[in-house]
Amino acid sequence: MTKDRKAPLAACVKQSMERYFHDLNGEKTAGVYDMVISEVEKPLLEIVMRHVKSNQCKAAEILGINRNTLRKKLKQYKLL
C-alpha cells in the first residue's frame, strides 16, 4: 500500500481528534487510546467479515492476526 492510500484514514483520524479536543473546551479526559481503537476496530471487523462472507480464517489472514484473536475481538464487539 502506498503512502497516498493511507493518508485519507490518517487525515480523518487527525481531524476527528482535533475536533474532539477542541470540543472538550479544556475539560479533562482519559482513555482516549481505547476510545479511538474501539471506534476504528469495530467497523473494520464488520467490513472485513462482510467481505469474506464471515469466513474467520480468511478474515484473520486479511487482518494479519491470529484466528483466536479475531474471535476474541468479534465477541468483544458482539459481532458473533
**What pLDDT score was predicted for residue 45?**
98
Please report where in the chains the cell 481528534 appears, as a residue. Answer: 17
| CB contact at 8 A, 37 and 44 | no
Q: Buried b vs exposed e over 19-32: b needs ≥16 C-beta within 10 Å?
A: eeeeeeeeeeeeee
Write out the CATH class of domain 45-79.
mainly alpha
pLDDT tens per residue across all 80 residues of the chain: 555 555 788 999 999 999 999 999 999 999 999 999 999 999 999 999 999 999 999 999 999 999 999 999 999 999 99
Question: What number of CA atoms fall less than 13 Å from residue 18's CA on the CB side?
Answer: 6
HEC sequence for 6-53: HHHHHHHHHHHHHHHHHHHCCCCCCCHHHHHHHHHHHHHHHHHHHHCC
Q: What is the pLDDT of residue 2?
A: 53
Give the pLDDT score at 7: 76
